[in-house]
Chains A and B, each alone.
Chain A
Amino acid sequence: MTFRKLLAAPFIFWIIAGTVIPLGVIGFYGFTTRDRNFTFENITAIFTAEHAQALLLALLLAAISTLICFVLAFPLSLILRSSGLGQKGFMVFIFILPMWMNFLLRTMAWQVILEKGGLINAIITSMGFEPLELINTSGAIVLGMVYDFLPFMVLPIYNTLMKIDDNIIEAAYDLGATHKRVIWNILLPLSIPGIASGVTMVFVPALTTFVISNMLGGGKINLIGNIIEQEFTTSANWNLGSGLSLIMMIFIVGSMMLLSKLDKEGEGNFI
């Protein structure tokens, strides 16, 4: 028995070395100055205009993208369920296939399409209109977020919808419920675990991204992720970067806690 327990030793070592200690290091740097004295400055730095703006903008864009993803994904999952297309795994496969494609390539595709000399502007100018300023806008960043993370919303919602017993829905129709009412009073409440899972799967990566904002925002629009990334690459201020990541983690942990409340059984789980 004890020998079998020992087989978990490499894994436990890996958790300690790869997860526990690194998080401790972030905590240490977040609460110290460069001379290793205790301080709250890196935490309160979030209230400076530049950082607060970046955090608020990130929260706003992540919320908008999450909402758009939900509005697109819920009807899509309903259609897949009701039309029976879902049973043929192929249709679902089509909607989650892009998820397996390198996400930098997908973001790059939009960069190329939206660029000044890109495809959309080429079409617009060929029709005799003035070219539009498409890239380097908040709209472009939201578009990139929706495009990159949409499958993360579709999959959990679709999974919970498929688990709903057909008899419940038939009973509702038999009792005289309208189509609208069935969606509103039965399908929507029963798919809340999946929705919660989808919302976290979209909101957290959207909130923390620096890649999408860098590629589609042209380095002009800073989200909190960009600020943190710059602290570790160009300005090399680990203390400030760690402090700001601790603030960002509050929002991550918050949405995780909300998720575990709404999805107790782990129904919307990915694997």
Chain B
Amino acid sequence: MKKLIKGFYLFLIILFLYLPIFTLMVFSFNGSKSMSVWTGFSTMWYKEMATDPMIVEAIWNTFTIAVAAGVIATVVGTLACIGISVMSKRSESLIMGFNNIPLLNADIVTGIALMMSFLVFGITLSWGTVLLSHVTFCLPYVILSVMPKFKQLTITNYEAALDLGATPLYAFWKVVLPELRPGIISGFLLAFTMSVDDFVVTHFTRGAGINTISTLIYSQAKVGIRPTLFALSTVIFVMVLVVLGVSNFISQRSEDEE
């Protein structure tokens, strides 16, 4: 009996979490614009989505910004961890304190603060300002993923490589980097997803006419949502499933190797 109640509770929460998403999925295959009446199966909204230049451009912007922000944040963040690891305890905790600000701050404050700063210093809002802003809030996630790996690093391996005649760069590449790799990968994935998921910071720092998936949804929600967005959410949901599945598989495999 008790088990039944527990199971039922889990079931209710799952229903609450997934029913809205599945409603969108179902109506993305609807034959009409209606969001409440089923008028027959059709893939017309998927075709319309694929040919709508606004949606295609928004998808393109979302992913190019996320990849670029992820790569820049990962490189800058990993280099920073090397530098921070040889600093004194005091400067380390100072830097980590500042690192936490964008992480803890409200999105809206980060967004307006960046927007005002760009404009005050005479930088016109564009695709580039969105990218710079995304790197800003992605960096803390990279630092927090890579830094713990630095703490676990067996520094003697690196020293042994130097003793055996490796140059510092070669030793870093062959000895240190492989040990950091899991942290770097998870840092990049976090940065990437944070960037894809962001709306608020993009909303304030984008130039005129620049849309990501999030800002497109927001502007359509005001004037009326078309089922093409249902098709889009179905595609995104399936993609999230695939990406998470693959990254789960990779981390499982690297654990097995260890």
Partners in one complex: yes
Residues of A within 8 A of B (CB): 1, 4-12, 14-15, 17-23, 25-26, 29, 72, 75-76, 79, 83, 85, 89, 91, 93-95, 97-98, 100-113, 115, 117-119, 121-122, 147, 150, 204-205, 207-211, 214-215, 225, 228-229, 232, 238, 241-242, 245, 248-249, 252, 256, 271
A38 to B239, CA, bound (A): 51
Candidates B14, B110, B217, B244; contact of A108 at CB < 8 Å: B217
Contacts of A72 in B (CB 8 A): 13
A245 to B200, CA, bound (A): 14
Beyond A23-B101, A83-B6, list 16 extra A-B contacts (CB 8 Å).
A8-B87, A14-B76, A19-B98, A22-B113, A83-B3, A95-B14, A104-B217, A105-B232, A105-B233, A108-B24, A108-B229, A112-B23, A112-B35, A150-B17, A210-B200, A271-B141
A94-B14 contact, Cβ under 8 Å, with A6-B83, A15-B95, A112-B23: yes
Ranked 5 nearest A-B pairs via Cβ: A8-B83, A11-B80, A22-B113, A122-B36, A18-B136
A26 to B112, CA, bound (A): 8
On whether the beta carbons of A105 and B217 are closer than 8 Å, the reply is: yes
On whether the beta carbons of A22 and B117 are closer than 8 Å, the reply is: yes
Tell me if B18 is interfacial: C-beta within 8 Å of chain A.
yes
On whether the beta carbons of A115 and B114 are closer than 8 Å, the reply is: no
Contacts of A9 in B (CB 8 A): 83
Instruction: Look across to chain A and name the residue whose beta carbon is closest to the beta carbon of B85.
Output: A4
Min Cβ gap B24→A in Å is 5
Min Cβ gap A108→B in Å is 6
28 A-B pairs in the complex with CB atoms less than 8 angstroms apart? A6-B83, A8-B80, A8-B84, A11-B77, A14-B139, A15-B95, A19-B98, A22-B117, A26-B112, A29-B116, A75-B9, A76-B13, A79-B6, A79-B10, A93-B244, A102-B197, A103-B197, A104-B214, A105-B232, A106-B21, A108-B229, A112-B225, A113-B23, A204-B106, A205-B106, A210-B200, A232-B204, A245-B109
Min Cβ gap B235→A in Å is 11
Min Cβ gap B54→A in Å is 15
Contacts of B109 in A (CB 8 A): 26, 208, 245, 248-249, 252
On whether the beta carbons of B83 and A26 are closer than 8 Å, the reply is: no
Instruction: Look across to chain B and name the residue whose beta carbon is closest to the beta carbon of A249.
Output: B109
Size range of the interface on B?
A: 35 or more
On whether the beta carbons of A100 and B116 are closer than 8 Å, the reply is: no
On whether the beta carbons of B108 and A208 are closer than 8 Å, the reply is: yes
Candidates A109, A214, A242; contact of B112 at CB < 8 Å: A242
Min Cβ gap A256→B in Å is 6
Contacts of A117 in B (CB 8 A): 34-36
Instruction: Look across to chain A and name the residue whose beta carbon is closest to the beta carbon of B132.
Output: A18
Instruction: Look across to chain A and name the residue whose beta carbon is closest to the beta carbon of B24.
Output: A109
Candidates B80, B99, B105, B110; contact of A10 at CB < 8 Å: B80
On whether the beta carbons of A102 and B114 are closer than 8 Å, the reply is: no
Tell me if B144 is interfacial: C-beta within 8 Å of chain A.
yes
Min Cβ gap B147→A in Å is 10
On whether the beta carbons of B36 and A22 are closer than 8 Å, the reply is: no
On whether the beta carbons of A122 and B37 are closer than 8 Å, the reply is: yes
Contacts of B35 in A (CB 8 A): 112, 115, 117-119
Contacts of A75 in B (CB 8 A): 9
Contacts of B27 in A (CB 8 A): 112
A102-B214 contact, Cβ under 8 Å, with A22-B113, A94-B14, A249-B109: yes
- B204-258 interface (Cβ within 8 A of A): 204, 213-214, 217-218, 221-222, 225, 229-230, 232-233, 236-237, 240-241, 244, 248
Tell me if B130 is interfacial: C-beta within 8 Å of chain A.
no
Tell me if B193 is interfacial: C-beta within 8 Å of chain A.
yes
Tell me if B31 is interfacial: C-beta within 8 Å of chain A.
no
A12 to B76, CA, bound (A): 10
Flag B113-136 by CB within 8 Å of A: 1 or 0 each: 111110010000000000011011
Min Cβ gap B146→A in Å is 11
On whether the beta carbons of A248 and B36 are closer than 8 Å, the reply is: no
On whether the beta carbons of B21 and A101 are closer than 8 Å, the reply is: yes
Tell me if B196 is interfacial: C-beta within 8 Å of chain A.
yes
Candidates B112, B136, B241; contact of A232 at CB < 8 Å: B112
A1 to B83, CA, bound (A): 9
Candidates A20, A105, A115, A238; contact of B24 at CB < 8 Å: A105
Tell me if B82 is interfacial: C-beta within 8 Å of chain A.
yes
Min Cβ gap B150→A in Å is 12
Instruction: Look across to chain B and name the residue whose beta carbon is closest to the beta carbon of A72.
Output: B13
On whether the beta carbons of B237 and A101 are closer than 8 Å, the reply is: yes
Instruction: Look across to chain B and name the residue whose beta carbon is closest to the beta carbon of A228.
Output: B108
On whether the beta carbons of B114 and A22 are closer than 8 Å, the reply is: yes
Min Cβ gap A218→B in Å is 10
On whether the beta carbons of B83 and A7 are closer than 8 Å, the reply is: yes
On whether the beta carbons of A109 and B236 are closer than 8 Å, the reply is: no
